[in-house]
Amino acid sequence: MNVEASPLRRAGSDQRCILVLFMDAPSPAAAAAPGSPAPSPQAAPVEDPGLRLENSELRQELASVKEYLQAIIEQQNAANEELQSANEEIRSTNEELQTNNEEMQTSREELQSTNEELRTVNDELQSRNQETSRLSDDLNNTLASIKLPIVILGSDLRIRRFTAAAGTLLNLIPADVGRPFANIKSPFDIPNHEALLLEVMASVTVQELEVQDSIGRWFNLAMHPYRTDDRRIDGVVLVLRDITKTRHDAEQLLAAQHAAEASSRAKDHFLAVLSHELRTPLTPVLATVALLQRDQRFDADTHENLEVIRRNAEIEALLIDDLLDVTRITQGKVQLDKRPVALDEILQRAIEVCQPDITLRRLDFSIEADQPRSLIAADATRMQQVFWNLLRNAVKFTPPGGQIVIRSRRQNGHVVVDVRDTGEGIRPEVLPRLFKIFEQGGIETTRHFGGLGLGLVISKGIVEMHGGTIKAQSAGPGQGATFTVRLPLLSATDAASVITPPVRTVLATPRPLHILLVEDHGDTARVMERLLTADGHTVQTVGDMASALPLVTSRAFDLLLSDVGLPDGSGLELMRAIRAKGLTLPGIALSGFGQRQDVQQCLDAGFAAHLTKPIDLRRLAEAMSQAVSDNSPASRD
């Protein structure tokens, strides 16, 4: 290593420096290498100090330049690094600014959306405020215009609002809003009203009661639960309605209703008593006629006269029945015992009743049936009454030698029955009112043919109670008439399930009976005793309950025939007394009262049957035979 030191002065600077150079020196081996020329002393260069100095200066300058360049490079590198760092910071800042810008854009959009929502909410609030204002105005105007006293209480039972009418009635002023309702001095004395109000809120039900104020006016107090929009119960609404006039009218209406019911009961009682009083004399008349008709000593004219008496007495009894029936039907008091029954059997029974008159008037009568057995659900007795009425009218209004046809057919689940005659016919103007009470085709018709015009009214009522219809047709006077009854058929299922009950044979009385007859009507008692005696029975007759009871206990009777109305009691009491003594004496009740409840009372008392006066002797014989048969030891076993 060769070391060389040279003075150095930088241009433009007074500072003196020394330049030290470290240079590699050739190794000795390299210098002595074979083939290499040996240095020659003569070949060594002669150094010029000036050149050397200049060379040194150049070197110094070169080194200085290098150093300067190196410094510049380092500064440039540092500047580049700073610029790069600044650039990165700028880029980062730019990214942050971009992010911030995006966030600001998002925030702006959110703010814009929020602003729109706020604007919408503001519009809705404004609309609600307007609606609330309108509702408030409506409520105030409604409350101001309502004449009803209304008080709204909060859940704490404090007054929240009230109408002007409530203020007047309850002496409320605006300052009372917010006060407990219990502290208000009310003109009404309502016990436990606070408990009632709490119950209304708890049960969410309306409570109503009638209250009277201090001056005698009556109000209906209705307590309604106060419901909010979210279905909460937040109080009670009290509504007071003046019912003084309504209550007064109701009391008057109730009094009128009671009076009408009393009048109706009095009328029913009058008709029942009238029926009894009219029926009772008919019994000895018909019984006497029957007794005389058995006497063969009378000639044909006498028997014909007796038949006239019998027929007219029975017509009188039928008129009584019609009066009672039309009253019960118009008042809706008729009860039907509907059972499955064959229509042809009902028609046959009605024909049997009218057959004597048909024969007497020499009428051409026929019956046509598409189906021989049409089952209907009907009260057989009442439905027989319908067809008997129609057939009786046909017989009455058809001249001798005329024709009557009964035709039945099925049609759309119904059975249709036509009763057609060739009689007097019906005027067109009469047809619309034919089924009205006391209508019979005009005064002339009533005078000529008689009757009250009740049969068709009764028939119409009975048919409609069975769910059917009845109508009349006629081409005019002299053209005859057709009455059509339409009744619903039983369904196939119901008809198939109907079991025909066995025919109950009514046996003739096997032996003469020992009969106790209790009857206070002298004529009836005498004639009945004579008839029964003529039939071979032994009859003991008394006129009151006091005379009958000792006989029942002291003598053996086979049958009791007793009037229901007795001077010292009733036949019902007599039968109950007999049953109380443990006796099984069969009895038949005889009465002029023939309504359903009358019959049921007799059966409940222990009678085997009830017969309505005037007594039908054929039915009496059947009832006697049945009662004795049912009371025989074999039947009791």
CA 141 – CA 297 distance, rounded (Å)? 101
pLDDT in tens, 14-31: 666 777 777 666 655 555
Residue 8: how many other CB atoms lie within 10 Å: 18
Domain 514-636: homologous superfamily in CATH: Response regulator (3.40.50.2300)
CA 293 – CA 295 distance, rounded (Å)? 5
Residue 83: how many other CB atoms lie within 10 Å: 12
User: DSSP 3-state assignment of 377?
Assistant: strand
Q: What is the separation of C-alpha 313 from the centre of its chain, rounded to a whole number of angstroms?
A: 51
> For residue 363, which phi and psi values (nearest 5 degrees)?
-90, 145
The more confidently predicted of residues 43 and 614 is 614
Lowest pLDDT segment from 51-60, 540-549, 568-577: 51-60
> Averaged over 371-391, what is the pLDDT?
87
Domain boundaries, the chain: 2-30+49-129, 146-242, 338-496, 514-636
pLDDT in tens, 112-141: 888 888 888 888 888 888 888 888 788 778
pLDDT at 338 over 80: yes
Lowest pLDDT segment from 45-59, 149-163, 347-361, 549-563: 45-59
Lowest pLDDT segment from 29-43, 410-424, 610-624: 29-43
Do the domains 146-242 and 514-636 sit in the same CATH topology, yes or no?
no
How far, CA to CA in Å, does 120 sit from each of 124, 126, 127? 6, 10, 10
The answer to whether 538 touches 509, Cβ cutoff 8 Å, is no
pLDDT in tens, 451-495: 556 788 889 999 999 999 999 999 999 999 999 999 999 876 565
The pLDDT score that the predictor gives to residue 366 is 93
The answer to whether 180 touches 205, Cβ cutoff 8 Å, is no
Name the maximum alpha-carbon separation found in the chain.
Answer: 221
Class of domain 146-242 (CATH, top level):
alpha beta
The pLDDT score that the predictor gives to residue 563 is 92
User: DSSP 3-state assignment of 471?
Assistant: strand
DSSP class of residue 632? S
pLDDT at 508 over 60: no
With pLDDT > 90 as the criterion, what percentage of the chain qualifies? 32
Secondary element (H or E) of residue 598: helix 596-605
Give all strands of the β-sheet with 403-411 in edge-to-edge order.
364-369, 403-411, 414-421, 481-488, 469-473
Q: Give the pLDDT band (50/70/90) at residue 159.
A: very high
The pLDDT score that the predictor gives to residue 75 is 80
Q: Give the pLDDT band (50/70/90) at residue 554.
A: confident
With pLDDT > 70 as the criterion, what percentage of the chain qualifies? 87
pLDDT at 1 over 60: yes
Mean of the per-residue pLDDT values for the chain? 82
CA 84 – CA 90 distance, rounded (Å)? 9
CATH no., domain 338-496:
3.30.565.10
pLDDT in tens, 561-574: 999 989 998 999 99
